[in-house]
Chain A
């Protein structure tokens, strides 16, 4: 019998989401098949992470960035230049009420300075305290009106404020964070849509884990979400996925133990990059449309992997 090539046909399509404004704008999503099986929508965007409180970052970043680490605008500019990233993520970690508890005004000023310093789209993360993030990301959305930034991220406890302020009042994109819970991922998209946020203005932060630390669950979550969006044409799951692997990758023993603590493991910087690249690569082939890393070398490596896969 002659060989008959059968292709799985999907009737759904992932939304295209544009982030950034003017010449800086990029778009993510738009694919009609599982990752890298088709022609469209697989130019995964690679982002570089910075923080307004990088004190606990590994020493190698002090070598890379020097005094720029203390000035978010300079930090942002250097990070984009050194990594060649398509976009930047700024973590407003100092806002944490259980940490430095920096004021909303100060953090907004940081976000505005970062946005002005770079020519790439900006993703703005709060401090992962739902109550503070609601106030903070709402104020950020207002201050950066029409810059089309991504508010990273709305959770069940604050989606109303962030969704209404960000995506509806000030023309931003809103990310919905579901921490590796597929049912919640769908639920948050439904809730945001009911609120009045357009599907095209939503991206999904479905969560991650460092490779080797329960990543199988991340992989199956991404698979299930993509199969629902593409195969079952589930419109509540057709939003592009954005994944930040930087914090997870740099907080496991392989990327935390110093060379003095684990001399047999070699360079901490190389280990951190290794963890980050492994995790990011797995997310990219799992379906992330935008991936965020911390080390400029990780960004370059993932960019070249994506270019190689697209061919």
Chain B
């Protein structure tokens, strides 16, 4: 089995510092966050430029080149509602360290992102939803199947699709969280890969509680086959949990100093 893939979420236009840096094309805050995440063990970096309706293409190309030139062609997830910006980003993307990931398609209005990924030999995050959070696992698996078929019709390898079951927030939907884990198991049993925005689970919880909830969730999800996640890699408790689970699953070789390399 491959080791768990960590996609770092911290280059996100929702952060005022990053939004300003995008607007000014100021590399420093972006490079700083990239470095922090890579040092903490991120495999991929998510580059979220927001809706970027105005200058998305230029901004995405600037961001892709900036990150890849400074960090040895680090592989990236290109994250925006502007499809043209994603295509523009892929044009300047260097695949030496891994395919680009299109973030993201769903079974509703965003299904075209899957076509875009297929046409550009990219990977794609596929949300198992149509409008909002799926009501139950019947819905999740139905959307998963729709997305899988669509991707394969367009020539994608099933392993180039990362299915996101949609983590739900504990504060409000606590009774549904075990469904999400069950969905991960079902998708894994179909031989498919999974991912998800894990921090949604602990959204709204106090700062000192969030790492605990996130790391427990990821451990339980990895037991169900969860193969990657979009997370904050600077959460040390979470990253140590991922390494420990990877060891228990025999995904990486144990050594006494395994956390220090």
Contacts and interface: CB of A to CB of B under 8 A. Distances in A.
Interface of A: 11, 182-184, 186-187, 190-191, 193-194, 224-225, 228, 231-232, 234-237
29 contacts: A11-B98, A182-B253, A183-B254, A183-B255, A183-B256, A184-B255, A186-B253, A186-B254, A186-B255, A186-B258, A187-B255, A187-B256, A187-B257, A190-B255, A190-B257, A190-B258, A190-B260, A194-B257, A194-B260, A225-B253, A228-B253, A232-B2, A232-B3, A232-B252, A232-B253, A234-B252, A234-B253, A235-B261, A236-B255
Interface in B210-256: 251-256
Contacts of B98: 11
Contacts of A183: 253-256
For the residues of B in contact with A, the DSSP-based class is: loop
B86 to A, nearest CB: 23
A232 B256 contact: no
A187 B256 CA distance: 6
A239 to B, nearest CB: 13
A193 B258 CA distance: 12
Contacts of B255: 183-184, 186-187, 190, 236
A1 to B, nearest CB: 15
B160 to A, nearest CB: 12
Is chain A's binding surface mostly helix, strand, loop or mixed? helix
A184 B251 CA distance: 17
A237 B253 contact: yes
B3 A191 contact: no
Given A231-B2, A232-B3, A190 B252 contact: no
- Which A-B residue pairs are the 8 nearest by beta carbons? A186-B255, A187-B255, A190-B257, A236-B261, A228-B253, A190-B261, A187-B256, A183-B254
Interface residues of B, number: 13
Contacts of A235: 261
B133 to A, nearest CB: 34
A305 B237 CA distance: 51
A13 B15 CA distance: 37
Contacts of A182: 253
A272 B37 CA distance: 55
A195 B127 CA distance: 45
A183 B257 CA distance: 10
Contacts of B258: 186, 190
Contacts of A190: 255, 257-258, 260-261
A234 B43 CA distance: 12
Interface in B180-236: none
Nearest to A11: B98
Contact of A193 (B252, B253, B256, B261): B261
B24 to A, nearest CB: 35
A190 B257 CA distance: 7
A115 B242 CA distance: 48
A224 B254 CA distance: 12
Nearest to A224: B253
Contacts of B257: 187, 190-191, 194
A287 to B, nearest CB: 15
Contacts of A193: 261
B26 to A, nearest CB: 32
B115 to A, nearest CB: 23
Nearest to B98: A11
Contacts of A186: 253-255, 258
